[in-house]
């Protein structure tokens, strides 16, 4: 088994270790770690929970430093929150080995016991929900109320899959032969490499890891370089919940090392499954790496969600849905509306009320301020992309209704922006913006709206507002997306399948279908009866 030898400290001060959780006793030959001192970063006057702010990687039940560390910055102020272990390919492979060694025991743990571990982890998340939310706001910038909502959403995945763990059923198939019986078994795949984004640094982990652990798989998580503290806080709570060593591992790394770590995880022969949420371009790279060893892959990739408002729609409901869908997390969600298609008869009324709602209801500020609804974008590159889309649209004839520039707070803040007279040749009509920009395109017929909505190589989510029952059926069936919101701007739920079509990904997460992504179907023919 690969080990870490003489690695240097990241420089974080040692604080009093948290209480260790109680769990299963290791089976011989499978789990072999002992208790290790936990290390945490003290953020000074930031008010963040030192007990949950870990700086080292978490591998085989131990907190392990790396030879180097990278800074994690507050996107609101640019201040350094702390320095985290900068793992490379060797550390990633060591984490895979630890997960593989743990798998031989974890797969044999009863579904009821796995359910119990996940439920304890859920309980600890709920107990620590305020502290976990503060970590999300500090490292991602999202408003604290939204961060609190994410933690509840995240914890619910652990609760959901703690229940689904006991509902992995096989089949008995009737065959023509009296001397044979056919059985279908479902068994865990093995080690799953989980690569997650920064915009939902907790929920994107629990949605994947909850399903994997419920199925009997072990995991290695590579969190986004902008938001590693959330993944490490979850590791601390998993440890306290008694999740056995090696079952949940975290290898943070800087942007510089992300490519090498991702390649190591995707090509390691001990990894059986890749789960990734992120851009379509990165997903294609990981797919190529996974292809050489034909690994199971599930991916939730980029979107370009249309939001269609038909003449029959209730304008006030449509505006409320547009506000919820577009400006949650400052427009930095994979399912947020990216193009607003509004039918000519209702267009002017919708744009007017949309602008009024933006002015009245949105407040840009630091995520820790109580009135804030719009925090900063994650970094300067994100702001530059929004600026580029706005500038391109205005240069091609779009009308600026509200916003349009960096906010006076500076740094990574951008004004919520509404554009009208947008055309299909503009960048914001062709690319995912991932920011607080709402471009409105006017259309005449249902057929035209569907043609515009479907004229893209991605298809994650789509929304439309209509009071015509026949139209609702037609459009819901013809939109080329994996998820549809009808007269509703918020569609995510742990009980429902999440995923896209076309180049928006493979597989589904959450729901009763999510656990299938981590199970292999085995056919057993029992003869000689």
**What is the dihedral sign for C-alpha 257, 262, 267, 271?**
positive
Residues comprising the chain, all counted: 529
Structure token digits, residue 484: 């549809």
Does an H or E element contain 12, and which? none
In DSSP notation, 343-397 reads: EHHHHHHHHHHHHHHHHHH--B--TTSTT-SB---SSHHHHHHHHHHHHHHHHTT
87 counts as catalytic: no
Structure token digits, residue 89: 């390919």
Instruction: Tell me how far apart the alpha carbons of residues 80 and 30 are, in angstroms, rounded to a whole number.
Output: 39
300 counts as catalytic: yes
Instruction: Tell me how far apart the alpha carbons of residues 45 and 494 are, in angstroms, rounded to a whole number.
Output: 36
Cβ atoms 441, 423 nearer than 8 A? yes
* CA-based nearest residue to 252, from 100, 39, 58, 4: 58
What residues contact 254, with CB distance under 8 A and at least 6 apart? 70, 86, 225
Does an H or E element contain 476, and which? helix 469-478
Q: Spot the catalytic one: 139, 300, 415, 446.
A: 300
The percent of the chain in helix, strand and coil, each rounded to the nearest 5, is 40, 20, 40
Look at residue 81 and give its three-state secondary structure.
strand
Instruction: Tell me how far apart the alpha carbons of residues 211 and 378 are, in angstroms, rounded to a whole number.
Output: 28
Q: Spot the catalytic one: 334, 415, 432, 446.
A: 334
What residues contact 272, with CB distance under 8 A and at least 6 apart? 189, 190, 191, 192, 217, 295, 296
Structure token digits, residue 260: 């090498």
What are the residue numbers of the active site?
300, 334
């Amino acid at each position: 088994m690969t080990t870490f030898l003489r690695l240097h400290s990241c420089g974080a001060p040692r604080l009093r270790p948290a209480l260790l959780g109680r769990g299963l006793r290791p089976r011989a030959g499978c789990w072999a770690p002992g208790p290790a001192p936990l290390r945490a970063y003290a953020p000074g006057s930031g008010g963040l929970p030192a007990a949950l702010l870990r700086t080292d990687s978490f591998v085989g039940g131990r907190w392990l430093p790396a030879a180097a560390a990278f800074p994690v910055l507050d996107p609101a102020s640019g201040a350094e929150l702390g320095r985290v272990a900068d793992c490379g390919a060797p550390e990633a492979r060591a984490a895979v080995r630890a997960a593989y060694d743990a798998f031989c025991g974890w797969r044999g743990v009863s579904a009821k016991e796995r359910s119990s571990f996940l439920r304890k982890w859920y309980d600890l998340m709920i107990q620590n929900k305020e502290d976990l939310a503060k970590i999300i706001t500090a490292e991602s910038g999202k408003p604290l109320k939204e961060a609190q909502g994410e933690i509840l959403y995240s914890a619910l995945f652990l609760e959901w899959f703690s229940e689904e763990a006991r509902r992995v059923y096989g089949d008995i198939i009737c065959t023509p032969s009296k001397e044979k019986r056919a059985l279908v078994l479902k068994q865990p795949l093995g080690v799953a490499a989980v690569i997650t984004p920064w915009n939902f640094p907790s929920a994107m982990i629990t949605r994947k890891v909850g399903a994997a652990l419920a199925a009997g798989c072990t995991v290695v998580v590579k969190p986004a370089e902008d938001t590693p503290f959330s993944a490490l806080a979850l590791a601390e709570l998993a440890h306290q919940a008694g999740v056995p060593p090696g079952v949940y591992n975290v290898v943070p790394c800087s942007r510089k090392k992300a490519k090498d770590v991702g390649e190591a995880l995707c090509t390691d022969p001990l990894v059986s499954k890749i789960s990734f949420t992120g851009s379509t371009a990165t997903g294609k790279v990981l797919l190529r790496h996974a292809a050489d060893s034909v690994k199971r892959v599930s991916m939730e990739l980029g979107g370009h969600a249309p939001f269609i408002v038909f003449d029959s729609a209730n304008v006030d409901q449509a505006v409320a849905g547009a506000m919820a869908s577009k400006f949650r997390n400052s427009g930095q969600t994979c399912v947020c509306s990216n193009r607003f298609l509004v039918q000519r008869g209702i267009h002017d009324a919708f744009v007017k009320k949309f602008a009024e709602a933006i002015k009245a209801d949105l407040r840009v500020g630091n995520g820790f301020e109580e009135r804030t609804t719009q925090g900063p974008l994650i970094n300067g590159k994100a702001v530059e992309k929004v600026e580029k889309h706005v500038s391109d649209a205005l240069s091609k004839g779009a009308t600026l209704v509200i916003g349009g520039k960096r906010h006076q707070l500076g740094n990574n803040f951008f004004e919520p922006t509404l554009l009208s007279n947008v055309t299909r040749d503009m960048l914001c009509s062709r690319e995912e913006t991932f920011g607080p920009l709402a471009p409105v395109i006017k259309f005449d017929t249902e057929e035209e709206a569907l043609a515009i909505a479907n004229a893209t190589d991605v298809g994650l989510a789509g929304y439309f507002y209509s009071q015509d029952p026949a139209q609702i059926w037609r459009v819901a069936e013809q939109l080329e997306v994996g998820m549809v919101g009808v007269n509703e701007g918020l569609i995510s739920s742990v009980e429902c399948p999440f995923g896209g079509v076309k180049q928006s990904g493979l597989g589904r997460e959450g729901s009763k279908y999510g656990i299938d992504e981590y199970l292999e179907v085995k056919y057993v023919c029992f003869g000689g009866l």
